Amino acid sequence: MAQNSLKHSLKDSLKTPLYDLHVELGGKMVPFAGYAMPVQYAAGIVREHQHTRDAIGIFDVSHMGQMLVSGEGVAEALEALLPIDVAGLGINQQCYSVLTTESGGILDDLIVTRWSENEFFLVVNAATSAGDLKHLQNHLRGCDIRVLGQRALLAVQGPKAGELIGELAPETRALTFMHGVHTKLFDHDCYITRSGYTGEDGFEISVADTAVEAVTRELLKDPRTAMIGLGARDTLRLEAGLCLYGNDMDRTTSPIEAGLQWSIARSRRAGGDKAGGFLGAETVFAQMEEGVSRKRVGFTVAGKVPVRAGADVIDEAGNIVGKVTSGGFGPTLGASIGMAYLDRGYEKVGTDLYALVRGKQIAITVAKTPFVPQRYYRG
């Protein structure tokens, strides 16, 4: 049996502070974004995925970049880079945003949380974090930008996460989706937000790298919890219709093409109080006005064959009309799903097309996302 997976070097990879625990728990370590990360544990991706949908999954996301940007006028300065209402964020409120390029592409996607009037906490993707830092340093003159290299990040996700974290840190009970609080967990200082990337209710916990193993071991004592690897993280986010940077968007795709126009604040759009003023705004506005030549969509697959990233999409006549950017088996659905960029005119929900898999035409249908309903806690 020949396996078509790429072999990168594990030994050159960085380790998160939970590396030893992953190995101890039987994590199958693979190189990911420069880090050795567990793709799965003994239970396997399907069980880990379903455990997160049914109970509580704990994910090590310490590879992600954590930064603190502060200084007088930092909110306004950030608005030159992010098409969101940064100044309008309340203390401890957070917002998803893209970091745009001058040509209207996406440098990264991130979560911005206001810690205080002039202090913003950013969580960025691992692979892009060095580039993001340079970008912020170039554009945010006079602001203090600190990489929080000594902090780890845990995601605690699933329908029972609210109960568990509420028992351990009662201040979190009042948190609704996209809000955070400075608190203690097992006597360790941490910052807990009600957020995540699985489509489920849940939390992200930023904690000192020296404390994260103790916190994780304590959390794992609860029978509702289990460690979940990157494999299930990917299937969970795919079912939830969430984009993966580097797959479903990058510097060459705009937020409009990527279907992320919802992330652009009303006040920052053409005609808004604070319209434009972010990098690439002209391009983004023109696309919102005139439409785009291609668009990211979700699709379902007839049959179970996984349709993976890179597959061409063709129409009835055999013309190539798009490309798959994420795809595979969705364990909760028990079906194969994916995301693709399709040429204008093919993006309507219900459009029947084909994906080319090993030279065979596999019938796919453009579908609404999320594939599995998001269950965020909105109070």
Partner 1 sequence: MSNVKYTKSHEWFRAEGDLVTVGITDFAQSQLGDVVFVELPEAERALEADEEAAVIESVKAAGDISLPFAATVVEVNTAVEEAPELVNEDPEGEGWFFRVRLEDPSALDALMSAEEYAEQAEG
Which residue ranges make up the site for partner 1 (CB under 8 A)? Answer: 1-5, 39-40, 44-46, 231, 235, 304-306, 308, 328-329, 331, 336, 358
Eight-class DSSP state of 293: S
Structure tokens at 92: 């401890």
For 186: left if phi > 0, alpha if psi spans -120 to 50, otherwise beta; the answer is left
In this structure, the strands spanning 119-124 and 180-185 are: unpaired
Full 3-state SS string of 52-102: HHHCEEEEECCCCEEEEEECCCHHHHHHCCCCCCCCCCCCCEEEEEEEECC
Q: What is the DSSP string of 304-337?
A: S----TT-EEE-TT--EEEEEEEEEEETTTTEEE
Cα separation of 95 and 122, whole Å? 10
Give the C-alpha separation, 361 to 355, whole Å: 6
SS3 121: strand
CB 174 within 8 A of CB 192: no
Residue pair 123/204 in contact by the 8 Å Cβ criterion: yes
Closest CA to 101 of 270, 246, 251, 248: 251
Which neighbouring-strand residues pair with 58? 156, 227
H/E segment holding residue 220: helix 212-220
